[in-house]
Amino acid sequence: MIRKNPRGDLPQIHETAYVDQTAILCGKVIVDENVFIGPYAVIRADEVDETGDMQPIHIGAHSNIQDGVVIHSKSGAAVTIGQHSSIAHRSIVHGPCTVGDRVFIGFNSVLFNCRVGDGCVVRHNAVVDGADLPAGFYVPSTERIGPHTDLAAMPRVSAQATEFSEDVVRTNHSLVQGYKKLQNEF
């Protein structure tokens, strides 16, 4: 469902993107080309700051927002998902938040008030809250990263983890093409 927010902003969706009919996109949302937005995802840009303004939620080209993902923002803060990135099933991305290019966010992970640099991998059930991860960092499953986490102790992304991330993007890019072809059959 594509709908306006109370301020009247309507999502802008590139014609090559695929948005599942059960997903909800509300308000100042920008979806670039070849993006996959899966079933029951909710992307909602509807809160304003103290001046009545808001920044967009922007999903970069060739990225995928999988089943049940929630993307929202506090008080009109920006949320940016880079290009060729994957936000896996049931994750929560809550702004203010920036996710770089070629990033993988695993199942049920939570991002809030953070920056995740290019090429990072955040595995399943992890939390990044109030921290900035430089490019190429690996966050193991169930890890909690906060403002006082010693990032020097965190591992770098392996070639195997990078290949996994790239494979997820390739798979979801194929799904965009397949579902776009089927879109008029229902």
CB atoms within 10 A of CB 141: 13
Confidence of residue 153 (pLDDT cuts 50, 70, 90): confident
Average pLDDT over residues 161-168: 88
Q: Span 2-185: which CATH code? A: 2.160.10.10
Q: What is the pLDDT of residue 177?
A: 84
Q: Are 64 and 43 contacting, i.e. CB atoms less than 8 angstroms apart?
A: no
Confidence of residue 164 (pLDDT cuts 50, 70, 90): confident
Q: What is the pLDDT of residues 119-133, one digit of tens each?
A: 999 999 999 999 999
Between 29-38, 40-49, 74-83, 148-157, the lowest mean confidence (pLDDT) is in 148-157
Phi, psi of 160 (to 5 degrees): -65, -40
Active centre residues (catalytic): 47
Q: What is the pLDDT of residues 35-69, one digit of tens each?
A: 999 999 999 999 999 999 999 999 999 999 999 99
What predicted TM-score, i.e. pTM, was given to this entire model? 0.94
Is pLDDT at 78 greater than 70 in this prediction? yes
Q: Are 89 and 68 contacting, i.e. CB atoms less than 8 angstroms apart?
A: yes
Q: Are 87 and 81 contacting, i.e. CB atoms less than 8 angstroms apart?
A: yes
Phi, psi of 46 (to 5 degrees): -135, -10
